[in-house]
């Protein structure tokens, strides 16, 4: 049974309704944070290859059920894989969201995100949370390292796999950080669909 979702409730509402305690999401985005692949073509290709299935929610944030090829395109850690593909009594269930392409590189971060490190001297940028609003409204802002004084855009700091910048995100709910990683075949598929490289990280709201 797929949930009946009205035209007014978007994917975000869906996620909120079924996930009071957010386990986490696996996020896929382009290596180049400025890249803006065609979302419609990408979704079509992911559906064709069975990564995503039926559309669950109308609205700005498109939400999809997992497709028949989903489990073969991710590698799961541990032997007990508990993937619920249907909503059940408010428990987290696995689905995929593809929000609209953003105008500029945008930072996705969560409670698991730690201060990024300078790639030159490894110093941490401790006040990154206070800088987020500025980065969102000043897409070309550079960040000067408090230790070595080198200036780089915020996406060239080392966020590890705990956050990251991009314009288009594929968000796989609900995946605990490191519980699942994309296979080389999934990266190949993304590269073929968009002509650009991809990477992944994890976010917990």
Contact flag: residue 121 with Zn ion (CB under 5 A): yes
Do the strands 151-152 and 164-166 form a parallel or antiparallel pair, or are they unpaired?
A: unpaired
**Is the peptide bond preceding residue 174 cis, with omega within 30 degrees of 0?**
yes
Q: Is there binding between residue 57 and Zn ion (CB under 5 A)?
A: no
Nearer to Zn ion, 81 or 148 (CB): 148
Nearer to Zn ion, 70 or 135 (CB): 135
Q: Single out the segment in contact with Zn ion by CB under 5 A; choices: 108-116, 139-147, 158-166, 195-203.
A: 139-147
Beta bridge partners of 181: 75
Closest CB 126 distance from Zn ion, rounded Å:
13
Of 3, 50, 59, 120, the one binding Zn ion by CB under 5 A: 120
Q: Is 151 in the site for Zn ion (CB under 5 A)?
A: no
C-alpha 184/C-alpha 181 separation (Å) is 10
Write down the least CB distance from residue 125 to Zn ion, Å. 9
- How many residues form the binding site for Zn ion (CB under 5 A)? 7
From candidates 18, 118, 175, 189, binder to Zn ion by CB under 5 A: 118
**3 state SS of 28:** strand
Q: Residue 23's beta-bridge partner residues? A: none
Among 47, 115, 123, 185, the residue binding Zn ion under the rule CB under 5 A is 123
| Whether 83 contacts 31, CB under 8 Å | no
Q: Regarding beta strands 169-173 and 95-98, do their DSSP bridges make them parallel or antiparallel, or are they unpaired?
A: antiparallel
Name the DSSP class of 2: P
- Binding residues (CB under 5 A) for Zn ion: these are 118, 120-121, 123, 145, 147-148
């Amino acid at each position: 049974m797929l949930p009946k979702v009205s035209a007014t409730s978007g994917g975000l509402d869906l996620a909120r309704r079924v996930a009071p305690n957010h386990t986490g999401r696996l996020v896929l985005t382009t290596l180049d944070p400025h890249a803006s692949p065609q979302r419609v073509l990408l979704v079509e290709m992911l559906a064709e290859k069975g990564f995503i299935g039926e559309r669950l929610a109308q609205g700005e944030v498109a939400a999809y059920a997992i497709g028949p090829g989903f489990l073969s395109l991710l590698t799961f850690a541990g032997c007990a894989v508990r993937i619920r593909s249907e909503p059940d009594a408010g428990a987290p269930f696995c689905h995929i969201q593809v929000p609209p392409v953003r105008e500029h590189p945008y930072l996705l971060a969560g409670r698991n995100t730690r201060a990024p490190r300078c790639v030159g001297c490894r110093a941490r940028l401790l006040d990154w949370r206070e800088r987020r609003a500025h980065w969102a409204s000043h897409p070309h802002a550079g960040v000067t390292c408090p230790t070595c004084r080198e200036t780089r855009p915020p996406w060239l700091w080392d966020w590890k796999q705990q956050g990251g910048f991009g314009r288009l995100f594929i968000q796989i709910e609900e995946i605990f950080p490191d519980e699942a990683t994309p296979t080389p075949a999934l990266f190949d598929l993304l590269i073929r669909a968009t002509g650009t490289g991809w990477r992944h990280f994890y976010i917990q709201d």
